[in-house]
């Protein structure tokens, strides 16, 4: 196969997968459609071709009609077995479209000369029983929309307030580099991507009948990005708008939306009781451009947008993130990675005493010595505030 001529590398992900290249373990890349999973496969193929001339490449793209004959696990197994040579790297794009694909993967693992990679657009691709079925012989890497640094690189832009505004407005889908950064063009493209995800990965996949409710739910969550909600609260609000749907159905539909990577669901964590709350969570959009394509890019939403982009950057950096609850106070993000914690508060501005007292005061209440940071739109280059770090959003997003 030929590597696309416009291949733009994403070193962040290549470095993650490098230790596993050539190993008899399945490499699974999950993420929203059009975040660049296929191009990441091409990047890995290019790396293998340059570093291991003896490995044969076998690429299967389930969105290509040439591979429509691969419908189930047996078809996949037979095709790979017939096509492989002594040492073969197998790449399977959108593997969730193959019935019982996990059976084929488990069988193919028996061939020690196979190096297997696959992508999928469902967060539960290898969860639960399937993960156990594969006996831990896989790694999963979630691919996200472009980070701010990647956005600058893809669009060949200098780091500036204008570039940051474009990123916050249009989001980080890689294909945008081929389009003029103009509202009419970008939002039309993003709305089409959204429709594709909703119909292919939700409506068709789960045989959703109440499509108008699903669409109204997405709009509701877009308008209330970053607010704490339970399924019951969402159901009660929608009923007040004459849209009737039981809370258990709300829960099911939000689950569909998070599985398709349209939304991220963030649980609340009790910092005093050291437990995760069973009800009440926040929702953030995987791609802010898609959100704005649905409801517009509005100045009054700046706080929500800023909070959303901070969350996206934290998970891009590999943190496990929750919303912190400290008595009557809230910590925007409680993050953990490699046994270390970090706390973040997000504020548009800290130029008045009341805001400073709230944002810094909440962090001061945390009784441990882990890093604490306030992120703001204001440019700041001074000292800490009683040991609490202060950083502007552009600088925070520029931190790889």
pLDDT at residue 127 above 80?
no
Beta bridge partners of 121: none
pLDDT at 159: 97
Rounded to whole angstroms, the Cα distance separating 36 from 193 reads: 13
> Other CB atoms closer than 10 Å to residue 382's CB: what's the count?
6
How far from each other are the two terminal CA atoms of the chain, in whole angstroms? Answer: 33
Q: Which of 58-67, 303-312, 378-387 has the lowest mean pLDDT?
A: 378-387
pLDDT at residue 207 above 90?
yes
pLDDT at 40: 97
Instruction: Tell me if 359 sits within 8 A of 344, measured CB to CB.
Output: no
Beta strand 275-285 with 263-270 is antiparallel
pLDDT at 19: 97
Give SS3 for 343.
Answer: strand
Name the CA dihedral angle for 288, 302, 337, 9, rounded to a multiple of 10 degrees.
40
Give SS3 for 57.
Answer: strand
pLDDT at 129: 60
pLDDT at 335: 98
Q: Which of 104-113, 239-248, 302-311 has the lowest mean pLDDT?
A: 239-248
306 against 133, higher pLDDT:
306
Rounded to whole angstroms, the Cα distance separating 91 from 44 reads: 10
pLDDT at residue 130 above 70?
no
pLDDT at 383: 80
Written as six digits, the tokens of 207 are 């045989």
pLDDT range class, residue 136, cuts 50, 70, 90:
confident
pLDDT tens sequence across 87-125? 999 999 999 999 999 999 999 999 999 999 999 998 888
pLDDT at residue 400 above 80?
no
pLDDT range class, residue 128, cuts 50, 70, 90:
low
pLDDT range class, residue 135, cuts 50, 70, 90:
confident
Domains and CATH numbers, the chain: 11-142 (3.40.50.300), 148-397 (no CATH)
pLDDT tens sequence across 18-47? 999 999 999 999 999 999 999 999 999 999
pLDDT range class, residue 82, cuts 50, 70, 90:
very high
Task: Identify which of 65, 64, 58 has the alpha carbon closest to the alpha carbon of residue 41.
Answer: 58
Task: Identify which of 191, 239, 190 has the alpha carbon closest to the alpha carbon of residue 213.
Answer: 239
pLDDT at residue 126 above 80?
no
Give SS3 for 184.
Answer: helix
> Other CB atoms closer than 10 Å to residue 75's CB: what's the count?
15
pLDDT at residue 15 above 70?
yes
Q: Which helix (H) or strand (E) holds 213?
A: helix 211-223
Written as six digits, the tokens of 42 are 């091409």
Tokens 């693992």 locate to: 109
pLDDT at 167: 98
Residues 380-385, mean pLDDT to the nearest whole number: 80
pLDDT at 114: 96
pLDDT tens sequence across 266-303? 999 999 999 999 889 999 999 999 999 999 999 999 99
Rounded (to 5) percent helix, strand, coil in the chain:
45, 20, 35
Residues 167-174, mean pLDDT to the nearest whole number: 98
pLDDT tens sequence across 331-359? 999 999 999 999 999 999 988 888 888 88
**pTM score of the predicted model:** 0.95
Residues 128-153, mean pLDDT to the nearest whole number: 87
Q: Order the strands of the 88-93 sheet from edge to edge.
A: 56-61, 88-93, 114-120, 26-30, 138-142
pLDDT tens sequence across 360-373? 999 999 999 999 99
pLDDT at residue 323 above 70?
yes
Rounded to whole angstroms, the Cα distance separating 147 from 313 reads: 7
Residues 237-261, mean pLDDT to the nearest whole number: 89
Beta bridge partners of 373: 344, 389
- The per-residue pLDDT of the chain, averaged, comes to 93
Task: Identify which of 233, 193, 195 has the alpha carbon closest to the alpha carbon of residue 215.
Answer: 195
Residues 131-153, mean pLDDT to the nearest whole number: 90
């Amino acid at each position: 196969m030929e590597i696309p001529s416009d291949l733009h590398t994403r070193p962040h992900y290549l470095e993650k997968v490098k230790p596993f290249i050539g190993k008899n373990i399945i490499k699974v890349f999950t993420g929203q459609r059009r975040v660049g999973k296929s191009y990441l496969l091409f990047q890995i193929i290019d790396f293998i071709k340059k570093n291991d001339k003896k490995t044969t490449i076998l690429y299967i793209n389930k969105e290509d009609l040439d591979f429509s004959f691969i419908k189930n696990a047996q078809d996949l197994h037979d095709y790979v077995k017939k096509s492989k040579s002594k040492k073969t790297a197998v790449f399977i794009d959108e593997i969730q479209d193959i019935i019982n694909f996990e059976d084929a993967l488990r069988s193919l693992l028996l061939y020690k000369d196979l190096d297997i990679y696959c992508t999928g657009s469902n967060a539960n691709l290898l969860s639960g029983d399937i993960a156990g079925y594969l006996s831990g012989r896989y790694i999963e890497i979630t691919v996200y929309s472009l980070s701010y640094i990647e956005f600058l690189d893809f669009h060949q832009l200098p780091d500036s307030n204008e570039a940051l505004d474009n990123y916050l407005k249009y989001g980080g889908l890689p294909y945008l580099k081929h389009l003029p950064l103009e509202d009419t063009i970008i939002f039309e493209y993003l709305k089409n991507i959204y429709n594709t995800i909703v119909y292919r990965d939700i409506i068709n996949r789960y045989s959703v009948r109440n499509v108008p409710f699903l669409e109204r739910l997405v709009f509701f969550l877009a308008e209330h990005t970053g607010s704490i909600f339970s399924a019951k609260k969402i159901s009660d609000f929608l009923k007040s708008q004459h849209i009737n749907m039981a809370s258990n159905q709300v829960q099911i539909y939000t689950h569909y939306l998070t599985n398709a990577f349209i939304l991220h669901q963030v649980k609340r964590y009790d910092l005093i009781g050291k437990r995760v709350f069973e009800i009440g969570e926040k929702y953030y959009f995987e791609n802010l451009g898609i959100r704005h394509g649905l409801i517009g890019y509005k100045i009054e939403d700046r706080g929500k947008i800023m909070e959303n982009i901070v969350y996206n950057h934290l998970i891009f950096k590999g943190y496990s993130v929750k919303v912190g609850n400290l008595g009557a106070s809230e910590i925007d993000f409680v993050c953990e990675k490699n046994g270390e914690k970090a706390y973040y508060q997000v504020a548009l501005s800290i130029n008045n005493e009341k805001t400073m007292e709230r944002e810094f005061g909440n962090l001061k209440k945390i009784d441990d010595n882990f890093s604490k940071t306030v992120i703001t739109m204001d440019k700041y280059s001074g000292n800490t505030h009683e040991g609490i770090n202060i950083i502007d959003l552009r600088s925070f997003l520029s931190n790889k």
